[in-house]
Amino acid sequence: MAGAPSSDPETRRPQDATVGSAGAALRALVVDDEAPALEELSWLLRQDDRIGEVVTASSGADALRSLDSGDIDVVFSDISMPGLDGMELARVIARFVERPQVVFVTAHDQHAVDAFAVDATDYVMKPVRKDRLAEAVRRVVAAVEPGGAAQPSAEPEDETIPVELAGVTRFITRSQVRYAQAQGDYARLHTATGSHLVRIPLSTLEERWAAAGFVRIHRSTLVSLPHVREVRMEHGRCSVVLDGAELQVSRRHTRELRDRLLRATLRSSS
């Protein structure tokens, strides 16, 4: 369905609305080519005090025009749409200097792996439940304004990662990943039960997971410090021992590994 992006002034909340205890309320863009789904999701979001304004678009092209004309904090987008679909829209957004958060809202789960690759904040299944949508908004708030999110913790919230197994989408958590290895533009995640190939560069994982204790030990390897059982130095060569694996540490990354292990030890003893 074609149509220009719209917003209903009567449904906008006051400009001084707040997110939790700090920060301005979020300005959301809802994108869906089906009018009933667009209206329902917009209505649900307007019931959330953390959402200050809801703008709508009935296509990916309309969404880009809305993004170009005003500050948007979060995009709630369907995936299967004619023309520029939701996944393509997210890839365009990923190139923005200041990019909004992206939450996919879809009736299909087969796109979950691709959603992880484009760094989507959340992936909500239709029909949308109010409590599940509230959780998605909470994740957006945590990403946009950490001080306004729920109680801060020493460690970041665990991340769920969709992986493909024999054509079926399954989920593992970041905390299950012992180490990750680069395979071109992909990364292979190693857990206690096997390995999984995901379409995301190792450099992106390094940046995203640094706060969770992942450190680069080689140009092609990231290791999870909580899974390191031993560090070995033999004949000037360094390696780390995990359950079931020993990985070589390159000379250029040895000092960084030592520093990160020392900081982790000091935090755990304080």
Superfamily of domain 6-148: Response regulator (3.40.50.2300)
- Where in the chain are the domains? 6-148, 163-269
What pLDDT score does 248 carry? 95
The CA distance from 50 to 140, in Å, is 10
pLDDT for res 6: 42
Tell me the mean pLDDT per 10 residues along the chain, length 270.
40 41 79 97 97 97 91 96 94 88 88 77 91 93 65 62 84 95 95 92 91 93 93 87 92 84 60
Distance CA 116, CA 222 (A): 18
Measured between alpha carbons, how far is 116 from 97 in angstroms, rounded to an integer?
A: 20
Structure confidence at residue 106 (pLDDT): 92
Question: What CATH number has the domain spanning 163-269?
Answer: 2.40.50.1020
Q: What is the DSSP string of 17-33?
A: -BSTTSSBPEEEEEE-S
- How far is residue 56's CA from residue 4's CA, in Å, rounded to a whole number? 9
Q: Which two tokens stand for residue 229?
A: 């059982």
Predicted pLDDT at 262 = 65
